[in-house]
Amino acid sequence: MLTRKQLELLLYIDSYLRQHGTAPSFEEMKKAVNLKSKSGIHRLVSALEERGFLRRLPHRARALEVVKMPASVRPVQDAPSHGFKPNVIEGRFGQPADDPRDQMPSESENVALPLYGRIAAGLPIEALRDETNTIDVPGSMISSGEYYALEVDGESMIEAGILDGDIAVIERTETAENGTIVVALVDDSEVTLKRIRRKGESIALEPANIDFETRIFGPGRVQVQGRLKGIMRDYG
């Protein structure tokens, strides 16, 4: 049985596919069903996949296919090209309309997060964005909020247990307490994963490897783009 949010999203995707021939973006889905973050959309899409209502088509951007519709939904003809009103819903649903579980995954479920690529000098996070490339992350690693994943490049944080090739799960934020490991954008051009320290108006970005030096920056040169929430590692 689908939650109301799950059904609302399924109907929106089905309507959008019939009108445009391609699936909506996650940003469009977020606005259509009135969620605050794309993490909620990833969770809804994954739930619909698990229940056999949606299927992702590999190696194609924005490639979703509606496999089936619930028995409680009648087919609609000539849906409007703008605006979305799920006025064909019949019957009752498993959870209330604003079930908080549509915003936050349970600890036993995986969530698909956007994987933006290797975190490397010379590329801001915005340049790494690719909503079509995702990675499944255990729900226990995240809570409410917006998240993304990055592949770690280099050995500057090995003494913090962060190795080259690890997948860093990042909570998107613009603030972080002293001592937090953050994704930092330096001079609007270089992205790095380091521990942040503030002293007065200066910011230090500390590595966790004695072979690397701490870098200190003046006011306005460093922007926090997220804080580390967890690390995933492939031992294969």
pLDDT digits (tens, 9 = 90+) for 99-138: 444 444 444 467 888 887 777 544 455 545 555 678 888 7
Q: Give the pLDDT of residue 217.
A: 95
What tokens appear for 82 in the block? 């703008």
Query: Tokens 């030096």 identify what position?
Result: 213
Q: How far apart are CA 72 and CA 68, in angstroms?
A: 12
- The single residue of 38, 194, 199, 229 carrying the catalytic annotation is 194
Alpha helices by DSSP H, listed for the chain, are 4-20, 26-32, 38-50, 125-128
What tokens appear for 234 in the block? 């492939």
Active site residue 106: no
- The single residue of 156, 199, 202, 229 carrying the catalytic annotation is 156
Q: List beta partners, residue 90.
A: none
87 CB-near residues (< 8 Å, 6+ apart)? none
Active site residue 143: no
Domains of the chain: residue spans and CATH: 4-102 (1.10.10.10), 110-232 (2.10.109.10)
Contact call for residues 157 and 132 (beta carbons, < 8 A): no
Q: Do the bridges between strand 147-152 and strand 110-119 make them parallel or antiparallel, or are there none, so unpaired?
A: parallel
Question: For 201-229, what is the mean pLDDT?
Answer: 92
Q: Give the pLDDT of residue 101.
A: 44
Whether pLDDT at 90 is above 90: no
